[in-house]
Amino acid sequence: ALLRRDNAQQQAAGFLEALLAALDDEAVVGPFVPMAFRVLAPVKVESAKASRAKLPPLALQQLSRTVLPSLIARAKGVKAVETAPWAKRAALESAVALLAGLSPEVACNDCSEELRFCTLTSLKRLKDEPEATVFAAQVLQLLVRAIQKQQSWVEDDLHSVVTPICDLCSSHRVPLVRLGCFQVLIALIQQAFGHLAPFKKQIQAGCKNGVEDRCREVRLLAVAALNTWHCVGSQ
């Protein structure tokens, strides 16, 4: 309903400016800014179920063009005013939430550089943040999309992708995140098997740990990842 109002664009701009200002001013609500972006672009696990709260695709695309560059600048700490560590983290999580809400085509084609920065930077953080469940799921979702859309930076940065994924697939406490890690490995093996020889031991060790996982769904996907490795390798 808000989007159909005559002054909706001005209200939306004011709301977004308030969110960004909360990051710059070290406001009490600053660390919760990512939650606001998850309301605008909710997490979507099953493709068959659409979220009622999700903004229309066009609105999200416009949002990415106006707000995403500002979030990336804050996450990198390149603003004129020094950005606090928590503000960089909140800006990064907000950017990831926004990218996850876009269609794979828009995220990979129109926001490729932002997608690369957010994915690789976030992967470095996830190992030290076992409580970041929603954030981790969205990062893995972005990575799977990038692999499926054959983004060239994935192969260029394989070390920054494979190593943290192999660690997370057995160490993260949330089964959904471990499942996501094996989805990433399966997609990687299918798309870039020829470049994965240096990571063979890491991948096989991660899969073997997954086969012994306490969660049945994780065990099944770990077996699928091992089978994919052997099948693709035998072709």
Listed residue (144, 150, 113, 162) closest to 47, CA to CA: 144
Query: In angstroms, what is the C-alpha Rg of the chain?
Result: 19
What pLDDT band is residue 48 in, cutting at 50, 70 and 90?
A: very low
Q: What is the mean pLDDT of the chain?
A: 84
Listed residue (155, 151, 160, 144) closest to 221, CA to CA: 144
- Cβ neighbours of 65 (radius 10 Å): 11
What is d(CA 152, CA 121) in angstroms, rounded to the nearest whole number? 17
The reported pLDDT for the residue numbered 160 is 95
Dihedral over Cα of 129, 135, 137, 140: its sign: negative
Top mean pLDDT of 29-33, 82-86, 169-173 is at 169-173
What is d(CA 196, CA 116) in angstroms, rounded to the nearest whole number? 19
Separation of first and last alpha carbons in the chain: 54
Residue 45 has pLDDT above 60, yes or no: no
Residues 6+ apart with CB under 8 A from 117: 72, 75, 76
Residue 50 has pLDDT above 80, yes or no: no
Residue 53 has pLDDT above 50, yes or no: no
pLDDT digit string, tens, across residues 97-149 = 989 988 899 899 989 999 999 999 999 988 777 778 889 999 999 999 999 99
The reported pLDDT for the residue numbered 215 is 95
pLDDT digit string, tens, across residues 148-169 = 999 999 999 999 999 999 999 9
Residue % of the chain over a pLDDT of 70: 80
The reported pLDDT for the residue numbered 70 is 87
The reported pLDDT for the residue numbered 54 is 53
- The tally of CA atoms less than 13 A away on the side-chain side of residue 10 is 3
Query: 229 near 204, Cβ under 8 Å?
Result: yes
The reported pLDDT for the residue numbered 154 is 95
Burial bucket for residue 232 (CB in 10 Å: 0-12, 13-18, 19+): middle
The reported pLDDT for the residue numbered 146 is 95
Predicted structure pTM score: 0.83
| Residue 46, token pair as written in the block | 């099953």
The reported pLDDT for the residue numbered 55 is 57
Between 147 and 37, the higher pLDDT residue: 147
To which residue do tokens 């690369």 refer?
116
Residue 212 has pLDDT above 90, yes or no: yes
* Rounded mean pLDDT, 80-107: 84
- Cβ neighbours of 42 (radius 10 Å): 16
| Residue 137, token pair as written in the block | 């799921």
Residues 6+ apart with CB under 8 A from 133: 174, 176, 177
What is d(CA 38, CA 41) in angstroms, rounded to the nearest whole number? 5
